[in-house]
Amino acid sequence: MNQTISIKRRKSKKIYIKNIPIGGDAPISVQSMTNTCTTNVKATIKQINKLQQAGAEIIRVSVPTLEAAEAFKKIKQKVTAPIVADIHFDYRIALKSAEYGADCLRINPGNIGNLKRIQSVIHIAKEKKIPIRIGVNSGSLEKDIQEKYGIKNPHALFESAMRHVNILEKLDFNNFKVSVKSSDVLTCISAYQLLASAIEQPLHLGITESGSLTNGTVKSAIGIGLLLFSGIGDTLRVSLAADPVNEIKVGFHILQALNIRKRGINFIACPTCSRQEFDVIKVINTLESRLEDITTPMDVSIIGCMVNGIGEAEKSDIGISGYRNKSILYENGVRKKTKIKNSKIIDTIEKYVRKKSKNL
């Protein structure tokens, strides 16, 4: 008998970034960040649209200068995705970004100077009805906290976050979410655990500066995955030193692996060995790139021989099991009478997937 393993999600307050709910019973959203120069308006708009097309539900744009804020205004007029303006230290940039249509401000209130400045940012966030993300990062902790704990300590991230949280709460502002990111996976997990039991606001998950595509994917999958499995997390960003479109792909793969959310094709493929009857690696890579546009959730198995091919195909929406010169095709767990020439596998699977995505 199949057993469904369910995750008990931490109860959190729901906030909105434009039309995207975060927290409560909202789906766990996937975000990314542009890495173009924000003052290059054309390139930034192009990348925002590319990320949105890849499935990004929220996109962050850094606004490091007042000049970038003017570019942000132009960008915001041309895109439909919810945009978070990422600001450090300069409250004037936060005010401008909010004025120019930011859907959320990423700013740490404790880092922007005196109370009057903080109040002015909170005032505009309230007026525009936009949330704030407190984003604590192990690379930029306050000096006194670093001296007290060192940076590889979950209590350092937690204490820093709570300073900012307390400022917002004192100013009667609770429309915020929080992240406590470390590049050390275990430190990061522990910091989120501390935070999850201390506040009711939604949590934005991420392993910061996690590294290259391969290394960063592994760290993010372990860190974000373990937190999500324990019910912690309401939105996520995978941080990779790679094309940010990969961040969206990996983010959805993490959610998919935990059965939290499904988007697009979940490919099941064997690692291949000398028993393979067709070139599994070529087939899977070609299909992955050809079918990137498919958003309908479905399981597609590509298995090189009968050893595991039949079992996987029977559990998949569409499956192929390698067999001599012609392989065996399954749809909805049912074997098709006609075998598929191995040279035609890619085109055939594509045809079946496209047909199914229209019918589902």
**324 Ramachandran zone, left/alpha/beta (phi>0; psi -120 to 50):** left
- CA atoms of 13 and 22, how far apart (whole Å): 8
Q: Give the residue, chosen from 256, 272, 286, 348, that forms a contact with ligand SF4 under the rule CB under 6 A.
A: 272
CB of 165 to ligand SF4, least distance (A): 50
Output the smallest distance, CB 332 to ligand SF4, in A: 21
Minimum distance from residue 112 beta carbon to ligand SF4 (Å) = 56
Distance CA 59, CA 134 (A): 16
Which residue's CB is nearer to ligand SF4, number 98 or number 313?
A: 313
Smallest separation (angstroms) from ligand SF4 to the CB of 273: 3
Residue 335 token pair? 């074997």
User: Considering the complex, what minimum distance in angstroms separates the CB of residue 301 from ligand SF4?
Assistant: 10
Rounded to 10 degrees, what is the CA torsion of 182, 184, 187, 190?
80
Answer yes or no whether residue 108 interacts with ligand SF4 by CB under 6 A. no
| 305 marked as binding residue | yes
Q: Report in angstroms how near the CB of residue 266 gets to ligand SF4 at its nearest.
A: 17
Where are the alpha helices (H) located in the chain, listed in sequence order? 41-53, 66-78, 91-99, 115-128, 143-149, 154-170, 185-196, 213-229, 245-257, 280-290, 306-315, 345-359
Q: Which of residues 285-314 bind ligand SF4 (CB under 6 A)?
A: 303-305, 307-309
Using the CB atoms, write b or e for 314-332: b if 16+ within 10 Å: eebbbbbbbbeebbbbbee
Other C-beta atoms lying within 10 Å of the C-beta of residue 61 = 26
Please choose, out of 16-24, 104-112, 269-277, 287-295, the segment that lies near ligand SF4 by the rule CB under 6 A: 269-277
# of chain residues touching ligand SF4 (CB under 6 A): 12
User: 270: annotated binding-site residue?
Assistant: yes
Told to check if 124 binds ligand SF4 by CB under 6 A, we report no
CA dist 264 and 282 (Å) reads: 20
Binding of residue 281 to ligand SF4 (CB under 6 A): no
**Rule CB under 6 A: is residue 275 a binding residue for ligand SF4?**
yes
CA distance 95 to 102: 10
Binding to ligand SF4 in span 318-347, by CB under 6 A: none
Annotated binding-site residues for [4Fe-4S] cluster read 270, 273, 305, 312
Write out the binding residues: 270, 273, 305, 312
Residues that bind ligand SF4 (CB under 6 A): 270-273, 275-276, 303-305, 307-309
